[in-house]
Structure 1
Amino acid sequence: MGRVRLSAPRQDLAIALGGLLGGLLLIAVGAYDRRAGLPWWVPVLPLAGMAGLSLLRRRCTVWTVSVGGVLLGLGLYFGSLLATTLLYTDLLYAAVLYGRPRMSKVLALTGGATTLVLTGLAWRYLSISEGLLIGVFGALVFLSPVWTADLLRHHRDRAESERLRAEQTALLAELDRRGAVVSERARMARELHDVIANHLSAIAIHATGAQAVARRQDRAADEPLVEALAVIRENSVQGLAEMRRMIGLLREAVPEEPYAAPRLAALDVLLEQAGTAGRAAGLRFEAEQEGEPGELPAPVELAAYRIVQESLTNAVKHAAPGVVRLRIRYGERELEITVESPYAEGGGRAVPGAKAGLVGMGERAQLLGGEFDAGPDGRTWKVRAVLPRTASEERA
């Protein structure tokens, strides 16, 4: 069970009530130094006044200590009551802890002077033993709460200073980290622009030039060469547009055109592009869908689109002639993607970055808490990905 924590005003009220009730109990049982000739209720007046000052112990520290000293003197004169003395020591403690920093020095000097004066008077007019007793009593009342509160305040201020220093260090570390991230993003943006984007631009320009030459030669639009040039130009232009958007995001700049994440509703465009590109290789593409798509989270839909896109691209590059089948099953809790293509063992030419697409598809599935598997299954190359329909904010 957790501890019950009272607010500051309620703590002050509890101290005031506790001191007042405790003092009344001591008066009721006669446990106080009663002055002869005075009625029993006279010591209650300083006690009640001290309890009232306890309600202001955090806000009016100077006034509570000053008035409390007068009430303490009256209480000692009318009849020494332990509760009144304890309430005054609490006022001294609160004045040092919640008041201005110089309060500890002022109260230590005044308390020490009061103790010395009382000790000297007792020594002079009473006896040495009584003087020593009054000196110890004065130190306990006037000095010990001041020293205790001063020590506690010192530790509290040092802890606050250490906390602020730790926050400042963490802030500086976070600024350094962000600066490093921004610098790295800018470097990546420069590399993408200077290398990949330029190559894509060159491909698009040369494909456009080749199309112009084909038109001058009066070649038919359905010729394989002309179709291949159209696919090359279209894909290079689309890749260049996405590359420029990515460069804008890396540089934290607002791109000229808002980036719209691809959706599974545009899979027919992917199939059409793959069919055009794979026609010369004897490939045909078929797609089927099971279940209701419903509403999918953006990270899940983006990952599914990229997995389908990469699978179809790999089929165009590596599959043997035949039919490539795409199946998408929308379940209640998961989205399953399956792409099967004719397997050509040892087919295709190894290029730099080979198998990077498979690694990327697996990472997309794992980041969403899904499953991914790709490999030969008899005479078929099978790609299967299972993605949860709900993605947590952390994974997204």
Structure 2
Amino acid sequence: MTLPRPHRIDLSIAAVGLVGGLVLWSFGLYVTGDHLVGQRWAALVPLAVMSATEAVRRTAPRTALIVATLAIVADQFTNGNLATVLMFTDVVYAAVVYGPPASARRIPYLTGLITVAITVVLLIWWQNAIALLVGVITGMISFLPAITGAIVRNHREAADAARLRAEQTALLAEMDRAQAVVAERARMARELHDMVANHLSAIAIHSTAALSLDEPATTRQALTVIRENSVAGLAEMRRLIGLLRDSGGESEPGAVPSLDALDSLLARARANGSAGGLEFVLEDTRPPGGSLPAPVELAAYRIVQESLTNAVKHASPGTVRVRVGRSGGVLTVAVDSPYGQRPGPGAPGTGSGLVGMRERTELLGGEFRAAASGTVWQVRAVLPAEERAGNA
């Protein structure tokens, strides 16, 4: 097993401690004059060992603390060196700051118990105030560094936790922003499709008819319809562009389409679908005077609009029937159109209209279905007519 390389700062601390201890030793500055080992050089052994533990105080904190404890005990049997004591306090501090969490929690308690135990034993043995002084010194070189390390470690962990929370908050904010952008793009795509697709479909169908039929009256009628749809589509585009540019809210937004305009919507569909042999019938069974939330009314209007657009593009000759009704807290929209072979010119479809209608319904918490039933293409949307609905 390869041991991690010592940190550069730790090597510098070890070198400074060793040199400082050697200077004190050379001048004969000892911690105590009482000693069991008489040789003067004996104090250098704990000094050298302690400086070695300083070199690994960050990479091997527990091992450094164990060896340093043995070294400080051995130092008590020599003349002693102040540098050895100071380096021991730093090793205790580093063991709490850089050691494993379990060790960081235990070391302050152990050093506190050792300080109390030494003080009590010396009081019993010596029976004078010097024992209290020795206890204070023991606490200063063991318990105080451990408590300091615990405080520093707690502050660092709190700072790391705060930084992590800030990063997570920033990440969540970015995710919310991205989702909001995607949702807004989808909403704009639905609005653009619903507002412009019916006009462009009518233009495509009638321009094809004008090019394929060499009859002045038919050509004039087709060009009239093309001009009307071009002007209407341009007005819708200008209204949407004005809404998008109105970020400051200083100008008045355009009127939001409502179900009260279904008659005008069907009249335009009759003009666009007359060439394909289509008739349009509206059955509005809503009770008079009932109001709907704006998102629900807009969604219902767009669903009818898109269904009529699809009928003009794809339906076979016959009657397109639009039914709108409200019962309690539910608004029902149903559009039935002839389904089968279509004579004459048509317009290609991409399926985005059905996707938009389904999205509008689901965003409001409603139900949507579009499928063929025999010779009838049925569109059904059930929308909540209460204020709990979200934005369409």
**Greater RCO (Cα-Cα under 8 Å, separation 6 or more):** 2
TM-score normalised by structure 2 residue count: 0.50
TM-score normalised by structure 1 residue count: 0.50
